[in-house]
Amino acid sequence: MVFVAGLIGIIVFYLAILGVGIWASRKAKNNSEEELMLAGKSLGFVVGTLTLVATWVGGGYINGASEVMFTRGLLWAQVPVGYSLALLAGALLFVKPMRDANCITLLDPFQRKYGNTIGAFLFIPCILGDLFWVGSILNALGSSLVVITELSPIMSIVLSVIFVASYTSIGAMYSVTYTDVVQLFLILFGLVLSVPFVARNEYINNDKLNQVDWVGSIAPLDLGEWIDTMLLLIFGGIPWQGYMQRILAIRNTKTAQYLSMISTFGCAIMSVPSAYIGVVARAVNWDEVPTFHRNVTSMDGSDILPIVLRHLTPAAIGFFGLGAISAAVMSSADSSVLSFSAMFSRNLYKNLIRKKASSKEIVWVLRITILCISVLSAIIALTVPSVYYLSVLSSDLIYVILFPQLLLVVHWNNFVNSYGCIFSYLVGGTLRILGGEHALGLPTVIKYPNYDHVKNRQKFPHRTFAMLCSLAAHILISSITHVLFIKKIVPIKYDFLHCFEEEEKTNPSSVSLTNLTRDDKKKNKKIIKTQKEFRNGSTTAFDDPAGTSK
> What is the predicted pLDDT for the residue at 448?
96
Residue 78 scores a pLDDT above 80? yes
* 403-458 tens-digit pLDDT: 999 999 999 999 999 999 999 999 999 999 999 988 888 899 999 999 999 888 99
CATH of 4-385, one of 3.90.380.10, 2.40.30.40, 1.10.510.10, 1.20.1730.10: 1.20.1730.10
Mean pLDDT of 329-358: 89
- Whether the predicted model's global pTM rises above the 0.85 cut: yes
Mean pLDDT of 296-317: 85
Mean pLDDT of 253-266: 96
Query: How does DSSP assign 395-409, residue by residue?
Result: HHHIIIIIHHHHHHH
Residue 507 scores a pLDDT above 60? no
Cβ atoms of 137 and 59 closer than 8 Å: yes
In the predicted model, what is the mean pLDDT of the chain?
A: 86
| Residue ranges per structural domain of the chain | 4-385
Taking the C-alpha atoms of residue 10 and residue 149, their distance in angstroms, rounded to an integer, is 9
Count how many residues are written for the chain. 550
What value, to the nearest 5°, has the Cα angle with vertex 106 and ends 104 and 107? 95
Residue 344 scores a pLDDT above 50? yes
What is the number of alpha carbons within 13 Å of residue 249 lying toward its C-beta?
Answer: 31
Taking the C-alpha atoms of residue 71 and residue 58, their distance in angstroms, rounded to an integer, is 20
Q: Which residue has the higher pLDDT, 533 or 16?
A: 16
* 420-429 tens-digit pLDDT: 999 999 999 9
Taking the C-alpha atoms of residue 27 and residue 511, their distance in angstroms, rounded to an integer, is 56
- Percentage of the chain beyond pLDDT 90 is 51
Sign of the four-CA dihedral 455, 458, 463, 464: positive
Cβ atoms of 408 and 474 closer than 8 Å: yes
> What is the predicted pLDDT for the residue at 51?
93
- Residue ranges of the alpha helices (H) in 58-122? 59-71, 78-93, 95-100, 108-114, 116-121
